[in-house]
Structure 1
Amino acid sequence: MADHYEVLGVSRDATQDEIKKAYRKLARQLHPDVNPGEDAAERFKLVTHAYDVLSDEDSRRRYDMGGDENGGFGGGFGGFGDIFETFFGGAGGARSARPRSRRERGQDALVRVNLDLGDVVFGAHRDIEVDTAVLCETCNGSCCQEGTSPVTCDVCGGSGHVQRQVRSLLGNVVTTQPCGTCEGYGTTIPYPCGACAGQGRVRSRRTVSLDIPAGVETGLRLQLPGSGEVGRAGGPNGDLYVEVTVAPHPVFSRDGDDLLATLEVSMTDAILGTTTTIEGLDGTVDLEIRQGLQSGDVLTIGGRGITPLRGSQRGDLRVGVQVVTPTKLDSAQRKLIQDFAKKNKAPAPKLAQFQQGLFSKLRDRFRSH
């Protein structure tokens, strides 16, 4: 049997605030809408049950005094409460049982938003359409028709529990169980709201405004506390998680906070040098091409990359050079190149370390910068 404190990862003298924070953190990680795995679902049940016991002062006190996983006292024959009932006529169980609240916390919701790489540079604003449960405006979460209210259950008398007498080796044993008529609430709703069928909430599409920070990447989830589904009977809202997907860009790719691109340079510009203007994600950039530029060289433009998720110093724009050799020459051009080759007296071709094309060479150069 798992220890509730170990399940939540808190010490036995943890405060209620520490228990609540630990539960919320684990619930965000393990909720089925966020983490659909079977192991996560089982852990989510354990975490929720542990929180239910430890968040209530009475059940936590019983648990700390040696109680079982439900916060009651352990032992055979149904626990201390049932033994008390066996020898003293069942009064103890009736006094300890309490009705459960109709108000429940709403489930978390998950939506996905698609971004362009340009949105990642400075961040973006999006209005997201979310289809979730919202508070019923007709009954305002009361679950009842106008002018009516819940009435005390005439089966359990408002306790939310009923007693059953069972024969055993010790005689008649009285056990306490949730009332099947009111489902443990202690009250029934004879005239449920017609708009929400007595749930206190309805499905509706709404718009959520979201400021997406710079530096996000595919797979990142942004949390909006209290923007998920409203709970049953007007209970508190769950959280909304927004998962980001960044579409590939036809020119630029991302390396951390830097942007990478390839610049095609003619052979003559690589030899003689020149200046050019290229289009960055946030405007034009002037670029100087020095004389003797080689394929695989990397030109760095500082501060024209991506603003980091936590920080303000933008990364760099790094441009890898690919020198383009002409494939078709007329006779005059060919003669000029031949004359140049004779005067330049270039060394004969020789073997060098094998490279898997330009991009492998650029990758190595990028990593060395």
Structure 2
Amino acid sequence: MSTKRDYYEILGISKSASGDEIKKAYRKVAMQFHPDRNPGDKSAEEKFKEAAEAYEILSDADKRTQYDRYGHAGVGNGNRGYGGGHMNMDDIFSQFGDIFGDDIFGSFFGGSGGRRGGGQRSRGVRGSNLRVKLKLNFEEIAKGVAKSIKVKKYVSCTTCSGSGAKDKSSIQTCQTCGGSGQVRKVTSTFLGQMQTVTTCPSCNGEGTTITAKCGTCKGEGRAYGEETVTIDIPAGVQEGMQLNVGGRGNAGERGGMPGDLIVLIEEEQHKELQRDGLNVAYDLHISFPDAVFGIQVEVPTIDGKAKIKIPAGTQSGKIFRLKGKGFPAVNSYEKGDQLIHVNVWTPQILSNEEKGIIEKLQESNNFKPNPDKNERSFFDKVKEIFS
């Protein structure tokens, strides 16, 4: 079970909150715990990161749906962007500015823009998300598993460390916007002067320009390659469920944030068991004499073999339950059962001697069907086969 706090609780909102309410709540919490307002306070910094993570999930309709259904297991696997080292404080500050505008930083934090490193944005272009399919067997689903998979994708250029520049001296503050990534224009209208803020056309909002491009990546800051990603799959996932691994998608251009890796779960069919929600179903076939006299049999389960006792006189269609032998729920302590459906096998080929024995047994009332049940007798079925 995850030890992370509930995202709605972090932002102080209800589960029915609208997009505008989520944004307003995030702004309030982030402003309260911003590091510039709480210098040296590690607790405030962690709450600032928590709020950013909560907003990143709840502001995205798909991620929010996964979170509401499966909790933290549906949107992260211990590798999430903020806590897992794939998104640093500069990325969060950049996100904060993108959402609410840089003006609030100038008003509240002395024009620093909430960013480190001389006020330059240096954020590049965010990488795209990737989708992969991951097939799991019943045992892996029941217990949870860590899977390492090779993903072909854009990775950060090792030559320029993702900057896209030949060297550090090739990265210059944009002369058009002065490193802010935005340009302001004041126009006069009949209502008075109006100020508009637009993305800088010279640097496309990055705040920097490159005078000499990296020879390896040609200025993109990334190259197509392969990365091995380890994914922690929680126990109890289901066919069609999506897990979101933050920061493990395509690398961004020129140092931009990486996209996410979205993992689609597929279930391998078990050769003997079938899944029914949290429960596991198994069809057990026994002979007519075993149904009459009773028998102890061994049945397959997710964890191996289990012995069960079939009492004398068991009817075809009887269901036995093995408590707790099913799948666990992803977001609770609930666990399913294994259901064993008994099927009494009717022989299709009989010798003359066997036919004679059965015909004699048919005369006994003990071998006639219960009149309260709409069932045909075993003998009627045999006669139908050999008629």
**TM-score, normalising length: structure 1:** 0.67
**Is 2:298 the partner of 1:277?**
yes
Match among 129, 137, 141 for residue 116 of structure 1:
137
Secondary structure in 1 matching 2:98: helix
Deviations 1:302-328 (A, max 9, x none): 343224434667532210111112222
* Native 8 Å contact 1:8 1:19 kept in 2: no
The residue aligned with 2:229 is 208
* Native 8 Å contact 2:124 2:255 kept in 1: yes
**Is 2:249 the partner of 1:234?**
no
* Native 8 Å contact 2:249 2:258 kept in 1: yes
Deviations 1:90-135 (A, max 9, x none): xxxxxxxx97544454444332201122322222332112223222
Following superposition, the deviation at residue 194 of structure 1 comes to 1.7
* Native 8 Å contact 1:5 1:12 kept in 2: no
* Native 8 Å contact 2:172 2:209 kept in 1: yes
Q: Find the aligned partners of 2:295 and 2:19 in 1 and give their Cα distance.
A: 70
The residue aligned with 1:39 is none
Unmatched runs of 5 consecutive residues or more in structure 1: 35-47, 63-97, 356-369
**Is 2:104 the partner of 1:58?**
yes
The residue aligned with 2:201 is 180
**Is 2:239 the partner of 1:218?**
yes
* Native 8 Å contact 2:127 2:257 kept in 1: yes
* Native 8 Å contact 1:160 1:183 kept in 2: yes
* Native 8 Å contact 2:23 2:59 kept in 1: no
Following superposition, the deviation at residue 157 of structure 1 comes to 6.2
Q: Find the aligned partners of 1:285 and 1:227 in 2 and give their Cα distance.
A: 41
Seen in structure 2, the aligned counterparts of structure 1 residues 29 and 129 have a Cα distance that, compared at 3 Å, is farther
Following superposition, the deviation at residue 155 of structure 1 comes to 5.6
Following superposition, the deviation at residue 154 of structure 1 comes to 5.4
Q: Find the aligned partners of 2:370 and 2:188 in 1 and give their Cα distance.
A: 100
Secondary structure in 2 matching 1:242: strand
* Native 8 Å contact 1:8 1:22 kept in 2: no
Deviations 1:27-85 (A, max 9, x none): 44358xx9xxxxxxxxxxxxx999724264627969xxxxxxxxxxxxxxxxxxxxxxx
Seen in structure 2, the aligned counterparts of structure 1 residues 21 and 61 have a Cα distance that, compared at 3 Å, is farther
**Is 2:23 the partner of 1:23?**
no
Seen in structure 2, the aligned counterparts of structure 1 residues 354 and 232 have a Cα distance that, compared at 3 Å, is farther
* Native 8 Å contact 1:134 1:203 kept in 2: yes
* Native 8 Å contact 1:100 1:186 kept in 2: yes
**Is 2:301 the partner of 1:255?**
no
The residue aligned with 1:289 is 310
Q: Find the aligned partners of 1:130 and 1:291 in 2 and give their Cα distance.
A: 56
Seen in structure 2, the aligned counterparts of structure 1 residues 219 and 234 have a Cα distance that, compared at 3 Å, is same
Match among 154, 164, 178 for residue 143 of structure 1:
164
The residue aligned with 1:245 is 266
Seen in structure 2, the aligned counterparts of structure 1 residues 226 and 274 have a Cα distance that, compared at 3 Å, is same
Q: What does 1:120-135 correspond to in 2, within 5 Å? A: 120-135=141-156
The residue identity in structure 1 corresponding to 2:61 is Q
Answer with 1 or 2: which has the greater Rg.
Answer: 1
The residue aligned with 1:8 is 23
Unmatched runs of 5 consecutive residues or more in structure 2: 1-17, 32-47, 67-93, 109-118, 377-387
Secondary structure in 1 matching 2:254: helix
Q: Find the aligned partners of 1:175 and 1:275 in 2 and give their Cα distance.
A: 81
Following superposition, the deviation at residue 140 of structure 1 comes to 0.9
Seen in structure 2, the aligned counterparts of structure 1 residues 162 and 280 have a Cα distance that, compared at 3 Å, is closer
* Native 8 Å contact 1:110 1:240 kept in 2: yes
* Native 8 Å contact 1:226 1:239 kept in 2: yes
The residue identity in structure 2 corresponding to 1:125 is A
Match among 337, 345, 367 for residue 324 of structure 1:
345
Match among 211, 229, 248 for residue 190 of structure 1:
211
Secondary structure in 2 matching 1:232: coil
The residue aligned with 1:265 is 286
Q: Give the number of aligned pairs.
A: 303
The residue identity in structure 1 corresponding to 2:209 is T
The residue identity in structure 1 corresponding to 2:100 is L
Secondary structure in 2 matching 1:119: helix
Seen in structure 2, the aligned counterparts of structure 1 residues 165 and 270 have a Cα distance that, compared at 3 Å, is closer
The residue aligned with 2:42 is none
**TM-score, normalising length: structure 2:** 0.64
The residue identity in structure 2 corresponding to 1:29 is A
Q: Find the aligned partners of 1:348 and 1:19 in 2 and give their Cα distance.
A: 67
> What is the alpha-carbon root mean square deviation over aligned residues?
4.0
* Native 8 Å contact 2:144 2:236 kept in 1: yes
The residue aligned with 1:77 is none
Secondary structure in 2 matching 1:10: helix
Seen in structure 2, the aligned counterparts of structure 1 residues 354 and 15 have a Cα distance that, compared at 3 Å, is farther
